Amino acid sequence: MKKGNKLLLSTVLGASVLLGSNTMALAFTDVPASSPAKKGIDYLNGKGIIKGYTKDLFKPNEAVSRGQFATFISRALKLPAASYSFSDLPKSSSLYDGVSRAAKVGIIKGSGSKSLATQKVSRADMAVMLDRAMQYQAKNKYTSTKALTYKDKNQISAYAVKSVERLAYYNIVPDKTTGYYKPKDFGTRGETAQSIYNMLMLFNGSNPSTPPSNGGSGSTDQKEYLTMTLAQLKEKYGSYPLVIRVEEYDKEHPVSTIDLIDIYYRTIHDPEDGFKGSPSEFLKQQEQALKNEYLNRYFTSYPKVEVFSYKGKAFRDSELFVNNNPAAYGGILVQSYIPNAPKLDGKFLIDLHTNSKAFATYQKDSVKVHEVNKASYVKDGVLMMEIKDLFNGVPGFSIVGSTMTLNGVELSYYIDGKTVKVGDKTIELAAPIQGGRGQIFVPVRSFCEAFNLDVRVSAQSDVPVIQIANYPQEKIEGIWQ
């Protein structure tokens, strides 16, 4: 199996959401899309080489220590395990393993018997250590140098000059500011990520610091996609988001959005991957793999894992769905619960899984996936759900005082009451409405039926699905009740 296929498979199965957006785990709030280090940060974080402080914060401007930098390089090059003795680095230190690996192959040398691992790494030392890493990785291959034009080149210590000249030639370490190297400044987490990423791309045969000659559009170069940024790829080829419930694997983040263009970008810039084909070739290959293999395997975990949509379409209506194939997705039973989007404007379908935090609202041209904010619960056998969660994404729903309105139908209610009034009718619900402090929990099935909505409930105990629509739904015996 090709590397790109393995990456997509692990993502689809929820074992590791590497890109995306959704959810994108790599979308740090303190690393804007305009940051020159974003590409390196996303890549290295996805590989586990440099991790964020939290899922949202990377702290790109925080200084890096010599030991941390050596550890990042050790992870990036997958250096062999080693034991090395430094007087200032006990084996109990979290930096011991990474520094030992780097020291064993001569990437970090320290001073005398000391590693100086806890000292902040200067940009001069960054260049030296990266140069040693390049020579270790491919001896006598990366030896070219470039005459330095930095305005502060005279401030670079003699021991680092040759390394800075080499890294300037190969575009590894970015300028600190235009025209200046700033050799005595401390290296930051953002610079660290960008530099190591540039080095890895060099090993992969590309020069990530050289932008496309035309800015990424209109080029006649058939290989231009290899040098495009992710934003440029999406602008030219579009997005291919696959939205999946992955609660089986991630209880805290039950929904993941994986864009196949993100996967493609990751694949062509992966030093370990040989795929260098066009986006069109990759997308065709992956869509076929999803249809033939991956989604069938994923459905073995249904309903804990579920595809909501692809490219904005309901999964069943997308090109990924395999129709008229009894063997697909675990058989006819599972296929029976995969929703179609409504065919008419103004219609909606709520696909609710009673034991999940995530559900979807389908309309003719859209799929909106929601995560429940207020926990639903079962009382006396009746499912209770917060009304604003239930009707999130449903057009034409509103609450004013003690009156709810949906599609022109008005329903009057009161907290702790078991009856509601719709027009001149008084309707008894399966359980009293509960609430307080802005929350209103309703008995889902009877409340929706009071609103003249069509409700069908799974007849299979191991498929806890309720589908609610403002149009008649087919009820197949043994499947729905």
Q: What is the mean pLDDT of each run of 10 residues along the chain (481 residues)?
A: 49 38 51 83 87 85 93 93 86 90 90 87 94 88 89 93 92 82 92 92 62 34 73 87 80 81 82 73 85 71 83 91 68 78 93 86 92 79 89 88 89 92 92 86 93 91 88 89 85
CA proximity to 448, closest of 434, 464, 427, 465: 427
Q: How far apart are CA 406 and CA 388, in angstroms?
A: 12
Query: Could you tell me which of 419, 40, 314 has the C-alpha nearest to residue 194?
Result: 40
Residues 302 and 360 in one domain: no
pLDDT at 272: 61
Do 90 and 191 lie in one domain? The reply is: yes
Choose one of 183, 203, 223: the last residue of a domain: 203
The answer on 248 and 185 residing in a single domain is no
Q: Could you tell me if 230 and 220 are in contact, meaning their C-beta atoms sit under 8 angstroms apart?
A: no
Residues 295 and 376 in one domain: no
Residue 336 lies in a domain: no
Residues 267 and 128 both lie in one domain: no
Q: What is the total count of domains within the chain?
A: 3
| Within-domain flag for 212 | no
| Same structural domain, 310 and 375 | no
Residues 6+ apart with CB under 8 A from 315: 307, 308, 309, 321, 338
Answer whether residue 218 is part of any domain. Answer: no
- Whole-model pTM: value is 0.59
Judgement on whether residues 190 and 106 belong to the same structural domain of the protein: yes
The vertex-220 CA angle with 214 and 224, nearest 5°, equals: 65
**pLDDT computed for residue 328 by the predictor:** 63
Backbone angles phi, psi at 297, to 5 degrees: -70, -40
Single-letter code of the amino acid located at 436: G
For residues 158 and 264, state if they share a domain: no
Question: Among 291, 326, 361, where does a domain finish?
Answer: 326
CATH of the domain at 404: 3.30.457.10
Give CA–CA dist 123/134, Å, rounded. 16
- Only one residue has tokens 């200046």, namely 180
pLDDT of residue 36: 83
Domain residue limits at 380: 349-469
The pLDDT value given to residue 1: 43
253 part of a folded domain: yes
* pLDDT of amino acid 331: 62
pLDDT score recorded for residue 16: 35
